[in-house]
Amino acid sequence: MNLAESLLGALKRAGVGQVFGIPGDFALPLFTVMERSAILPLHTLSHEPAVGFAADAAARITSRPGAMAVTWGAGALNAVNAVASAYAEQVPLVVISGAPGTHEGRGGLGLHHQVKTLDSQFLIYREITCDQARLDDPRLAPEAISRVLGNCIQRSRPVYFELPRDLVDAECAAAPDPVMPTASPEAIAECVAEVRARLAAARAPVVMVCVEVRRFGLEARVEQLVRQLGLPVVTSFMGRGLLAGPDSPLLGTYLGVAGDPAITDLVERSDCLLLLGVIPSDTNFGISETRLDPRAMLLARDGAVRIGHHRYADVPLAALVDGLLDGTTTRHTPLPLVPEPQAPQVFVADEAGITPADVAAAIQELFRRHGPMPMAADMGDCLFTALDIGHAELVAPGYYASMGYGVPAGLGVQAATGRRPLVLVGDGAFQMTGWELGNCRRYGWDPIVVVFNNQSWEMMRVFEPDSRYSELDDWNFAACAEPLGGEGVRVHTRAGLWQALEQAVASPGKFWLIDAMIPRGAISPTLGRYVAGLKRKRNR
């Protein structure tokens, strides 16, 4: 086997399902091996940011590493924002970049795509990945591949491989499977005992779940745990979409002042908040009116558990959950776990204009009738609208918050799961990456895309209501769909929206672009509360 096959084989054994990419001359030998070997399916897209977002979404939805292949310089550096997003949101993403051959660059001339030195790209990627390897020695490559992939999985963060183009075909051994470090059983036992004691002594313990629970594939076990211990469970903002199954014990999503007051109360009054895999981001906690008491927090994330002011440095989330599951029930009177009924959202398909709340209600009704679909949301009011839809699977950039995520993420979800996704995206974000829909036809992808077309960067306007720079032109997105291989329809009323959604569901096989015309200034209830809360905090 050659070096590229060794790498691809290792990716496949690590659970990677496909590679997204765009070639370039430094990556051509790699792409040739990918195509010929067919070890993993290769999906090419149109722009590197989308390649990164698609691979990121594939990783999020499957809880397995995602993979992307790009060329050196113009390709890899074009993907920096997407990889940075994956780093911030703890997505295991394998970046493979082609690179100049081992002896290229010595002739005194700068190589095309070179920035400052031949190392510039490696140094840039060192900042946004948790481990890196330049595979420039086929004898050392298998070990390096194994180490880097191990870190990708264990730390749930992006990693980086650089593959000199002259070594792609070099003879190479298979990479050994990554060896995961084992944590000390005594440390785990001590930590578990302390967490258990804290929970047992607490007056009002609450569990909050966030992205790591999904990344490490722990949803089912956490669900079992909260049932066993009789604990109320909520998700963080970033964790929205977790525990979305029909019989889930989930109570709701904590959104501070922007959310359901009962959930906010529950979390903010808890004297023992068990935070499972929660990223302490401003989007998760910045919107609380009260400052959460660190002494009441038990935070398990990034391989460690922090309890009040002390810390167990080496207790992975899975070990803590398993340890807690192992024991007998500690609470004698389990709290009622009946989820609060969702606020009844009545959707009336009449001739009234469309608001974001109508989109949420229509989609909720659609899922009720035809079953849930996995959702991908972009940044913008569409993300807050996603929070107004009942619990359903969701991938979204809830912390790093990059625009342009939604459409490529939807493609990544469909490529990785084969399930038809629903994409929620603003008109501004659609202008960034909407073109990627043109790749659906050749792969047989058929997402349903709802564009929140308010002809505005509305989220900017809510902060700067008098700005004119936030006004966007009316691009007729619906009319773009057909030449790209899909079906487009522009809707102005709730009846039109409903009919379009029903039609889209009834006609799979091609993408549907529903261009939902929403008046400027009409925002979702959750965004309204979110912004009001932020402004209140800022003015204090």
Chain residues in the site for ligand TPW (CB under 6 A): 379-382, 401-404, 426-429, 452, 454, 456-460
Q: How far is the CB of 535 from Mg ion (least distance, A)?
A: 20
Write out the H or E segment, with its range, that includes residue 359: helix 356-370
Nearer to ligand TPW, 307 or 425 (CB): 425
Instruction: Give the list of residues 6+ apart from residue 452 with CB closer than 8 angstroms, or none.
Output: 356, 359, 380, 381, 382, 385, 424, 425, 426, 427, 516, 518
Nearer to ligand TPW, 404 or 408 (CB): 404
What is the residue whose two structure tokens read 């590229």? 4
**What's the token pair of residue 264?**
């906010």
Q: Which partner, Mg ion, ligand TPW, none, binds residue 292 by CB below 5 to 8 Å per kind? A: none
Nearer to ligand TPW, 401 or 504 (CB): 401
Residue nearest to Mg ion (CB): 426
Residue 165 identity (one-letter amino acid): R
Helix (H, G, I), strand (E, B) or coil at 273: strand
What number of other Cβ atoms are within 10 A of residue 293's Cβ?
12
Q: How far is the CB of 401 from ligand TPW (least distance, A)?
A: 5
Q: How far is the CB of 208 from ligand TPW (least distance, A)?
A: 25
Residue nearest to ligand TPW (CB): 426
Q: How far is the CB of 429 from ligand TPW (least distance, A)?
A: 4
Rounded to an integer, what distance in angstroms lies between the CA atom of residue 427 and that of residue 496? 18
Nearer to ligand TPW, 76 or 382 (CB): 382
393 binds Mg ion (CB under 5 A): no
Q: How far is the CB of 460 from ligand TPW (least distance, A)?
A: 5
427 binds Mg ion (CB under 5 A): yes
Q: Which partner, ligand TPW, Mg ion, none, binds residue 17 by CB below 5 to 8 Å per kind? A: none
Indicate the Cα dihedral angle 274, 276, 282, 288, nearest 10°. -30
Rounded to an integer, what distance in angstroms lies between the CA atom of residue 540 and that of residue 185? 47
Residue span binding Mg ion (CB under 5 A) among the ranges 5-13, 19-27, 451-459, 487-495:
451-459
515 binds Mg ion (CB under 5 A): no
Alpha-carbon radius of gyration of the chain: 24
Q: Which partner, ligand TPW, Mg ion, none, binds residue 381 by CB below 5 to 8 Å per kind? A: ligand TPW
CA-nearest of 381, 367, 530, 411 to 395 is 411
Rounded to an integer, what distance in angstroms lies between the CA atom of residue 219 and that of residue 136? 39
Nearer to Mg ion, 433 or 456 (CB): 456
Q: How far is the CB of 413 from ligand TPW (least distance, A)?
A: 19
Residue span binding Mg ion (CB under 5 A) among the ranges 44-52, 382-390, 411-419, 426-434:
426-434
Q: How far is the CB of 503 from ligand TPW (least distance, A)?
A: 24
**What's the token pair of residue 221?**
């076990």
CA-nearest of 319, 280, 275 to 300 is 275
Taking CB under 5 A as the criterion, the residue among 454, 470, 524, 526 binding Mg ion is: 454
**What's the token pair of residue 451?**
């564009």
Q: How far is the CB of 457 from Mg ion (least distance, A)?
A: 6
Nearer to ligand TPW, 236 or 456 (CB): 456
Nearer to ligand TPW, 148 or 424 (CB): 424
Instruction: Give the list of residues 6+ apart from residue 442 with CB closer than 8 angstroms, or none.
Output: none
Q: How far is the CB of 495 from Mg ion (least distance, A)?
A: 22
Nearer to ligand TPW, 315 or 409 (CB): 409
Q: Which of residues 195-254 bind Mg ion (CB under 5 A)?
A: none
Q: In the Cβ-directed half-sphere of 358, how many Cα atoms lie within 13 Å?
A: 23
Residue 462 and residue 522 in contact, taking contact as beta carbons nearer than 8 Å: no
Cβ burial, residue 157 (10 Å; 0-12/13-18/19+): buried
Q: Which partner, ligand TPW, Mg ion, none, binds residue 515 by CB below 5 to 8 Å per kind? A: none
Nearer to ligand TPW, 19 or 429 (CB): 429
Nearer to Mg ion, 433 or 454 (CB): 454
Rounded to an integer, what distance in angstroms lies between the CA atom of residue 378 and that of residue 397? 7
Residue span binding Mg ion (CB under 5 A) among the ranges 10-18, 52-60, 194-202, 447-455:
447-455
Q: How far is the CB of 384 from ligand TPW (least distance, A)?
A: 8
426 binds Mg ion (CB under 5 A): yes
Indicate the Cα dihedral angle 73, 78, 82, 85, nearest 10°. 70
CA-nearest of 531, 527, 534 to 357 is 527
Residue span binding Mg ion (CB under 5 A) among the ranges 113-121, 132-140, 365-373, 453-461:
453-461
Write out the H or E segment, with its range, that includes residue 452: strand 448-453
Q: Which partner, ligand TPW, Mg ion, none, binds residue 210 by CB below 5 to 8 Å per kind? A: none
Torsions phi, psi for 69 (to 5 deg) = -130, 130
Q: How far is the CB of 450 from ligand TPW (least distance, A)?
A: 12
Nearer to ligand TPW, 270 or 385 (CB): 385
Q: Report the chain's terminal Cα–Cα distance, integer Å.
A: 64
Residue 230 φ/ψ region, left for φ over 0, alpha for ψ in the -120 to 50 degree band, beta for the rest: left
CA-nearest of 428, 370, 360 to 394 is 360
Q: Which partner, Mg ion, ligand TPW, none, binds residue 77 by CB below 5 to 8 Å per kind? A: none
Q: What is the largest CA-CA distance in the chain?
A: 76
Q: How far is the CB of 354 from Mg ion (least distance, A)?
A: 13
What number of other Cβ atoms are within 10 A of residue 127's Cβ?
10
Nearer to Mg ion, 20 or 457 (CB): 457
355 binds Mg ion (CB under 5 A): no
Residues that bind Mg ion (CB under 5 A): 426-428, 454, 456, 458
